[in-house]
Amino acid sequence: MKHYEEGFLDILKIKELDAILQQERSVRTYEIAAPLWDYLRRIANVLPRALDEAFAACDNRAVSSYCRTYVRRNREELGGLLKLADGSKAVADFQRFGIYQRLKSFYVQRSAWRRRLRGRF
């Protein structure tokens, strides 16, 4: 494990998260909801900085590319986490649409509208 990865895990108290998730009754999510929410509340003030430092230290462009795609595809599911990470430059960049994504989105929408219009006439 690289030093920045260890630092990231330490800052976010990952061992505490592991303890919450590895409980025998973890299948019943309602039982771990309160401890999990409490954990997320406690790390909220360090999360944006920790994310920025981790991504700044990572020299693998594929990691950033994957994260950008993952955040965009799962924006709704990640809503709560993205709110906690508010203030992180790295996460903001992952959410931002570049020119390629805008053109791709426009093309997909244009094709969908064309199919709809053809179906009506």
- Residues 59-92: pLDDT tens digits? 887 888 888 888 888 878 888 888 888 888 888 8
- At 68, the amino acid letter reads R
The tokens for 96 are 């931002």
Q: How confident is the prediction for the chain on average, in pLDDT?
A: 80
Least-confidence region, from 23-32, 63-72, 92-101: 23-32
Backbone φ and ψ for 61, nearest 5 degrees, come out as -65, -25
Dihedral sign for Cα atoms in the order 7, 14, 59, 72? negative
Question: Higher-confidence residue: 100 or 63?
Answer: 63
pLDDT of 26 higher than 60: no
